[in-house]
Structure formats: C-alpha cells, structure tokens
Amino acid sequence: MFDGPLKGVRVLALENAIAGPYGSMIMADLGAEVIKIEPPEGELSRSFAGPKKAGESFYFLSFNKNKKSIVLDLMTPSGKRAFFDLVKISDVVWNNFRPGVMERLGLGYETLKKINPTIIYCSVSGYGSSGPYMHKPSYEIIVQGISGMLSVTGEPGRPPVRPGVPIADMAASLFGVIGVLSALHRRNIRGEGEKVEVALLDICVSLMTYLISYYFCSGDIPSPQGTGHRGVAPYGVFRAKDGYVALGLSWPRIADAIGAPWLKDDPRFKEVEERVKNQEELKRIIEEHLSKKEVSYWVKVFEEHDVAGGPVNNVKETCEDPQVLHRKMILSLKKDSEEIKVVGNPVKMEGIDDSEFTPPPSLGEHTSYVLKELLGYSDEDIERMRGEMESRKEERIKHTRRQI
C-alpha cells in the first residue's frame, strides 16, 4: 500500500453491502492494508442488480477500492485456522454482521482477543448487541423510520421520503472508523485492544440532534420542511428559469442580488423571526425574481454579491463540476484492462497518493498472495483448503440467504 497515515495497520474485513465496506474503504484510502474476507460465492453486493463494469456490480465498485480480496470458508477447519492466523498478525477485525453471527462462527471478540490481545474488534449492526431490538433484522430505511429521520424528510403534508443517499449505512461506517482510530490511539497508550460497537439506530438518533433538542425546548414535534429550515430564512432550494439553485444564509445580500432591495425594509422580512414566520411568501417573491434568468446567470450574480448559493446539479453535472474535478473526487482506475470511474478520497493529507489507488478486487484475487506471503502456507495447504471449501459447496449455498 501507499505511504498513507494508516500505513502499517492491517484490517480484516468481514462485510457486506454498504455499512461494512464503506468504512473499511475509508481506512484503505488512508493507507491501511484491508483484507476483505469473502465466502466462495462472494459478498452480497457483487450480486446486486444494475449496471456492471469489468464484471462487477456498480454497488461493489462503489465501496471496495484499495482492498485485497481473499476467499475463505469460515465453517471449515482450514478456513477458520487461516482466519485465526491472520488475526495474529492484524490490528483490526471489522464486521457488519447481525449480532451473534460472529459468535456462532466462533469468531467473537472474546475468542479473538485470546489469540491476539491487541486486536481491535469493530462491529457495525442495526441495533447493537443489547436491547429489545437486538436480534431484529435491520435495513437503513427501517432505522431511519424508528429514529424519526423519515418523519422530517420530504415536503410538508406529503408522505415521508427516504434520503437520496444511504445516510444511515454510510454514517455508521464513518462512526465505526472514528471508533477504530480512537481505539488504535488508546492501544498506543495501554498496549491493549478492545471492542468497538456502532449501531445504525444510535447513529441516526445522533444525526437528529438539533431536531430532538428543538422538540425538548419547544414541546412541538418537528415536521418536514422540504429544503427549508425551521430556524432561519431564506434557506433552501429555489426555482430559477431553467432549474434550481440552493441558497444558504446570506440575508440581506440575497435581496440585493436578485434586484429586490426593498425586501430588506419590509416588516415581514426585516428580522429573522418574521422571515421564518413568512418564509413561504418570501420564497414566492424570491422565485418570482429568479425565474427571469437561468441558473448559470444567478450563480455568477451570487458570487459577485458574496451570496452563499449554487446550482442543484444532477449526477452528470456533479461529475463534471470544476471544483469536484480539481479536488480529484472522481478517479479513473484500470481493472481488467477496463477503465472504471469511482469516487475519490475526501481526506486530503500528506502521504495519500491517489495515483497509487487500486481498483476494487476480483473475488479471491489476493488469496494466494495472503496465504503464501503473509502466512507462509504451502501449495499443499492451499489445495487442502480449496478441497474443504468445495466439499461444503451445496451445504453453504443452501444456508446462504441472499435477500436481494
């Protein structure tokens, strides 16, 4: 791996879909050696429907760059032995299985810390390892509902709307990485590993922070605001002649920018409390002025007046945005002689060289390397493992639940 800030940290990732792979990819982007341990049929997102590139699903390509992939059947003696041998020389075990799965596999934290007392074990799950919901199946849409997040998303008077990005899964991954980095720091002081636990429901409740505070302070239950804000105005998305612009906190400069300086002295809009109370009327007036010109015109005007504003891009426009490209947030990588484009690493610091980034791995691409180079296994050892995996194929497929 490249000489990033996490160079020298080895992560064993047992993961599926987003909540696991996104977090381990962050660590890989920061220079950690992430070894993705997959069953012989591959992890769940390799099978997702939708467009493919270089033989892999768009989902898998999204969350797995800079990783190594090895195939192990953890229900076989040789597969479990190889995993334990890797634990001995690794720093982090990362998983997003339902609570109890790792223990049933014989891979729980209490077992692993006997093998390596300095191991950091991070578990990302829906509800955590305790409480009345512990054993319930979870998906991010469900925890968004329970946390109240869906109740405040969308337009007033309309049904709840799921956020356009999987915020619960991705935020859980981020907090998991924060937990791992904190544990690595404390290990440098104490010399001991520990268990880190992150639950999607906990994360969603945490993200609801100011809305929950609003409820406790006012007694009023927050409701959907569209793209508006319950504490300031104008704020949100406004229609222009050929699209939409997003506006942040820039009053009274917005009034001057749109050619309506009289709004500043209108008693309905002079103070923030009155603007919030009359924000629908204020929005109507602002859109009346914005509708006369194209988005590109208003973006230039906003810049001239130091107004916090910008276009509401579609995905194609985002991928061509000059600031996005300047920050190298769209990368081109070679995989199996094909060029694939993936999202770049948002953390910019010394040692992170995206020219050395590697594409998401093919299933089992690094199995021989890891077993031979890191563990010193012989060809006979590896063939024995493959034989054990093959002998369990029918049983494994029978018990694999692919709910997609």
Q: Are strands 56-57 and 67-71 parallel, antiparallel or unpaired?
A: unpaired
Question: What is the pTM (predicted TM-score) of this model?
Answer: 0.93
- The alpha-helical segments, DSSP class H, found in 116-265 are 140-147, 167-190, 200-207, 209-218, 253-257
pLDDT digits (tens, 9 = 90+) for 246-264: 999 999 999 999 999 999 9
Residue 388 C-alpha from the chain's centroid: 35
Continuous segment of H or E residues that includes residue 92: strand 92-95
Q: In whole angstroms, give the CA distance from residue 49 to residue 69.
A: 21
Q: In whole angstroms, give the CA distance from residue 339 to residue 169.
A: 27
DSSP annotation string for 112-148? HHHH-TT-EEEEEESS-SSSTTTTS---HHHHHHHHT
pLDDT given for residue 51 in this prediction: 95
Q: How many angstroms separate the Cα of 260 from the Cα of each of 142, 228, 233, 266, 291?
A: 45, 21, 16, 11, 13
Mean pLDDT of the chain: 95
Termini Cα distance of the chain: 33
Q: Which of 29, 73, 169, 202 is catalytic?
A: 169
169 is catalytic: yes
Query: For the chain, what is the radius of gyration of the CA atoms?
Result: 25
* Average pLDDT value for residue range 84-94: 98
- The alpha-helical segments, DSSP class H, found in 40-166 are 58-62, 77-88, 101-104, 109-115, 140-147
pLDDT given for residue 201 in this prediction: 97
Q: At what angle do helices 167-190 and 200-207 cross, to 10 degrees?
A: 100
Q: How many angstroms separate the Cα of 194 from the Cα of each of 21, 58, 177, 383?
A: 21, 34, 14, 35
pLDDT digits (tens, 9 = 90+) for 300-347: 999 999 999 999 999 999 999 999 999 999 999 999 889 999 999 999
Q: Are 67 and 13 in contact, with CB atoms under 8 Å apart? A: yes
Q: How many angstroms separate the Cα of 226 from the Cα of each of 40, 221, 237, 289?
A: 45, 16, 9, 21
pLDDT given for residue 312 in this prediction: 97
pLDDT digits (tens, 9 = 90+) for 369-404: 999 999 999 999 999 999 999 998 888 777 665 554
Omega cis (within 30) before 261 = no
pLDDT given for residue 208 in this prediction: 96
Among candidate residues 329, 399, 288, the one with its CA nearest the CA of residue 39:
399
Q: Are 266 and 295 in contact, with CB atoms under 8 Å apart? A: no
